Amino acid sequence: MSAGPVGTRARVALVLVSHSQRLAQGAVELSAQMAPGVLLLAAGGTDDGGLGTSYDRVSAAIEEALQAADGAVVLADLGSAVMTVESVLDMEDGFDGRVRLADAPFVEGAVAAAVTAHGGGDVAEVLASAEHAGGTFAVGAETPGAAEEPGTTDGEPAADGGTRAVVTLRNPLGLHARPAAVLARLVAGFDASVAIDGVNGASVLELMKLGAAGGQELTVTGEGPEAADAVRAVVEAVEGGFGEV
Amino acid sequence: MTLDVAWADRWTRLSAERITAARDELTELDRQIGDGDHGENLDRGFRAVVAKLDGSASGEQPPAQIGDVLKLVATTLMSSVGGASGPLYGTAYLRAAKVTGLAELDAQGVVALLEGALEGITARGKAQVGEKTMVDAWQPAVDAAEAAANAGASPADVLAAAADAARAGAGATVPLVATKGRASYLGERSAGHQDPGATSTAILLEAARDAATA
């Protein structure tokens, strides 16, 4: 099986395991907003819907994931949820290496993994994305005042050989989770390495960590074969205001 | 008395009876140093196990080997217990099942079953002896079983040695300070209480012993 084009079918599905059915479903809902088209499955609560984890629910979700995707990355919230996932993987001998349990914070890891899966990452890449989430998810200080008025574009991007541009965030809320995910997905679709204010443009968490507020200028740089197109696309997306202006 | 699939079935049903009888005692022990749900969780789990055994007796293919019974116990406990003892006991029965694809256990087979269970619990819970967990009952049980088997004891006597050692091991957790699991949050205050997981381990191994002499 080969990877489909970005956005049509992710190679990796996510299974989110929580003691709480509602927590698992909420994490699926949040991640789905960041990464539409990625198969996200909730396995929360006991068989009767109480607090706890169910071997059957976890096992069924993993099997469903593997029917639709090449592999699956699992995130779990607390002690016995982790133990239950480990038990399922043990029992099935790791599903021939197609399933991995991430040692990652539940919500942050799920969001990061979903966006990487959306970009066409394989199991190892999605796993790494989840596991790096804990260290990168510290939202930077917001700049009070800057969010008060909508930003204005500064007209033509200050192109520098087609790989560098400066653009002003127009939407009042700035680079919060949803726009960060939009940009990260966009960047992942190009054969280029894009940095936004010096951080990896393909990482939703690094973008969120910038804490960029409305009205703030962002410096976009790109390297690689499609760098010019990638930078232009980022500038257009930012100027479009992410549908929030 | 041979240790065959009928014994495994008796052991499982007797475990369920004993856990139900000890439900309040286990819950009280867990209330002192944990979250107070050990008795209730295990009782729910073993009731579900018996329901599966009954279901397979009436409709589906009944378990043909000891390992099949243990695997049924494993998957059912994992699914229905809810708390940490689900995956812990579930993995114990699962690993025990893997080493007993046999129609009948000899003395070394009993040792292998117990070793598999202990290995599953330590793999899942990462606990060691002296941390006031179920390992403090399982490890002496395995040691006693090995010694008995090496001394030429019968399979039933190997089980009896294991059960007695597990019960003594559970009692010996009283002065220990917990360093794993929920009870570790209590630190020094966990001393003076018997560990509920070690206690349920003793109950299960006593059921194994008694099912072999019934």
Residue A143 domain flag: no
A192 and A89, same domain (yes or no)? no
> Same domain for A18 and A118?
yes
Which pLDDT value is given to residue A153? 39
**pLDDT given at position B33:** 84
Q: A103 at the B interface (CB within 8 A)?
A: no
Tell me what pLDDT residue B115 has.
96
**Sequence-separated (6 or more) residues with CB below 8 Å from residue A178:** A33, A34, A242
Assess whether pLDDT exceeds 50 at residue A3: no
Q: What is the mean pLDDT of residues A21-42?
A: 94
pLDDT at residue A142 tops 70: no
Indicate the number of domains in chain A.
Answer: 2
Tell me the one-letter amino acid at A228. A
**Encoding tokens for residue A131?**
């596991």
What is the pLDDT confidence band of residue B7, given thresholds at 50, 70 and 90? very high
- What CATH number is given to the structural domain containing A195? 3.30.1340.10
- Which range marks the domain in which residue A225 is found? 164-243
- Same domain membership, residue A95 and residue A18: yes
Q: Is residue A159 part of a domain?
A: no
Q: Pick the residue of A46, A56, A103 with the most B CBs within 10 A to test the interface with B by mutation.
A: A46
Predicted confidence band of residue A177 (pLDDT cuts 50, 70, 90): confident
The answer to whether residue A5 sits within a structural domain is no
Indicate which CATH number applies to the domain containing B188. 1.25.40.340
Asked if A31 and A128 sit in the same domain, the reply is yes
Token couple for B211: 């099912």
Residue B97: closest CA among chain A residues belongs to which residue?
Answer: A91
Percent of chain B with pLDDT strictly greater than 70: 96
One domain, residues A111 and A221: no
Which residue in B80, B82, B91 is closest to A87 by CB distance? B91
A122: domain CATH number is 3.40.50.510
Number of domain units in chain B = 1
Same-domain pairing of A125 and A73: yes
Q: What percent of chain A has pLDDT over 90?
A: 53
A230 and A122 in a common domain = no
Are residue A28 and residue A104 in the same domain, yes or no? yes
- A174 shares a domain with A75: no
In a domain, A185, yes or no: yes
- ipTM, two decimals: 0.73
Mean pLDDT score of chain B: 91
Closest-CA residue of B relative to A53 is B82
Are A17 and A43 in contact by the 8 Å Cβ rule? The answer is: yes
Nearest to A90 among B79, B86, B91 (CB): B91
Could you tell me the pTM of the whole model? 0.71
A19 is annotated as an active-site residue: yes
pLDDT higher at A155 or B19: B19
- How far does the CA of residue B153 sit from the closest CA of chain A (Å)? 33
Distance from CA of B142 to the nearest CA of A (A): 22
Interface test mutation site (partner B, options A51, A78, A83, max chain B beta carbons within 10 A) = A83
**Nearest C-alpha neighbor of A202 from the set A234, A171, A173:** A234
**Contact yes or no for A112/A16 (Cβ under 8 A):** no
- Cβ distance B94 to A90 less than 8 Å, yes or no, reads yes
Per-residue pLDDT band for A74 (boundaries 50, 70, 90) equals very high
Whether residue A45 sits in one domain with residue A129: yes
User: Would you state the pLDDT for residue A156?
Assistant: 42
Question: Which of 52-91 (A) contact B at CB < 8 A?
Answer: 52-56, 79-80, 83-84, 86-88, 90-91
Q: Is B4 helix (H, G, I), strand (E, B) or coil?
A: strand
Answer yes or no: do A90 and A190 share one domain. Answer: no
Which residue of chain A is at minimal alpha-carbon distance from B181? A79
The 10s digit of each residue's pLDDT in B56-109 is 656 667 788 899 999 999 989 987 887 788 899 999 999 999 766 678 999 999
Highest mean pLDDT among A36-40, A225-229, B102-106, B134-138: B134-138
